[in-house]
Chains A and B, each alone.
Chain A
Amino acid sequence: QVQLVESGGGLVKPGGSLRLSCAASGFTFRHYYMSWIRQAPGKGLEWVSYISSGDTTIYYADSVRGRFTISRDDGKNSLYLQMNSLRAEDTAVYYCARPDREYCTGGVCPIDHWGQGTLVTVSS
C-alpha cells in the first residue's frame, strides 16, 4: 500500500536551516508530481511547493520562494525540502502529499495520500 513517511522536523532558531525528507513506497514514485503542504498551529492548509516527475516543473508559494528548495531522488523514492533562512511564520506541520493520478500537476488533482506530517518549530 502507499506510504509516505516524513522526517527531519524539529526546533530551529530564526535564520537557521532544516532539511525535510519524505520516503515513499507502494507506488511508482517517478510517475507522480509530489508536493509539500504545511499547516501552522491552529491554522489552515497552505500549498508550499511541488515538483513534477522528471523535475521539469517546480512551484513555490510566494511565502517561501527564494528560501526553500524542493528536490527528489527517484532512485531512492524520496522527496526533500531544503528550508533556509527560516522564520517564525514557517512554524508548521509539513506534509508530504501525492495526488490520485500520475503525471498530474500539483493542485489540479486531489491529494489521496498524505504523510503523517513532521513538525517544524522556528523559535529562539
Chain B
Amino acid sequence: QSVLTQPPSVSGAPGQRVTISCTGSSSNIGAGYDVNWYQQLPGSAPKLLIYDNSNRPSGVPGRFSGSKSGTSASLAITGLQAEDEADYYCQSYDSTLSGVFGGGTKLTVL
C-alpha cells in the first residue's frame, strides 16, 4: 500500500491529452512538501520528469506539465506520443521523515 495514491493505468490515443493524479495526505503533500514526477521506461532507471510540482528539467519536452493543489498533484501530458508509453511515479516527502512514492501509473498509448 503506497503512501501516495495513483491510478494503476491510464491510456490515450496519439495526440490526445492525459492526466495522472497523485493523492496524498496532510502528512505529505498537504503539509506543503513539493511533488516530483518520474518516468520509467521498461528496463531502465526512473528519470526525473517534473520537479518541485511544476518545473521541467532541461531536455524534458513542454508537453509534460505538473500541478499541485491541497493534498493532491497531477501530471498532464499533451500531444501524446508513442514514446510516452511508460510507468509514471509521483514522489513527495512525508512527516515520517522519508521520501514516499505513489504506486505508479502505466500509460498506454493506443
Query: Beyond A44-B2, A44-B89, is A107–B100 a contact (Cβ under 8 Å)?
Result: yes
Query: Beyond A44-B104, A114-B46, is A106–B57 a contact (Cβ under 8 Å)?
Result: no
Chain A nearest Cβ from B42, distance in angstroms: 11
Enumerate 11 A-B pairs (CB-CB under 8 Å) in ascending A order: A44-B103, A45-B104, A59-B98, A95-B45, A106-B98, A107-B98, A110-B36, A110-B51, A111-B46, A112-B51, A112-B57
Residues 87-112 (chain A) with a chain B CB within 8 angstroms: 95, 100, 105-108, 110-112
Asked if A2 is at the interface of the complex by the 8 Å CB criterion, the answer is no
Asked if A46 is at the interface of the complex by the 8 Å CB criterion, the answer is yes
Task: Say yes or no: B33 contacts A108, CB within 8 Å.
Answer: yes
Question: Which residue from chain A places its CB closest to the CB of B51 in the assembled complex?
Answer: A110
Asked if B101 is at the interface of the complex by the 8 Å CB criterion, the answer is yes
Query: Beyond A107-B93, A107-B94, A108-B33, is A47–B46 a contact (Cβ under 8 Å)?
Result: no
Residues 92-109 (chain B) with a chain A CB within 8 angstroms: 92-94, 97-104
Question: Which residue from chain A places its CB closest to the CB of B105 in the assembled complex?
Answer: A44
- Complexed CA–CA distance, A107 and B67 (Å): 19
Asked if B91 is at the interface of the complex by the 8 Å CB criterion, the answer is yes
Query: Beyond A44-B104, A100-B51, A110-B51, is A117–B45 a contact (Cβ under 8 Å)?
Result: yes
Asked if B86 is at the interface of the complex by the 8 Å CB criterion, the answer is no
Question: Which residue from chain B places its CB closest to the CB of A117 in the assembled complex?
Answer: B45
Residues 10-64 (chain A) with a chain B CB within 8 angstroms: 35, 44-47, 50, 59, 61
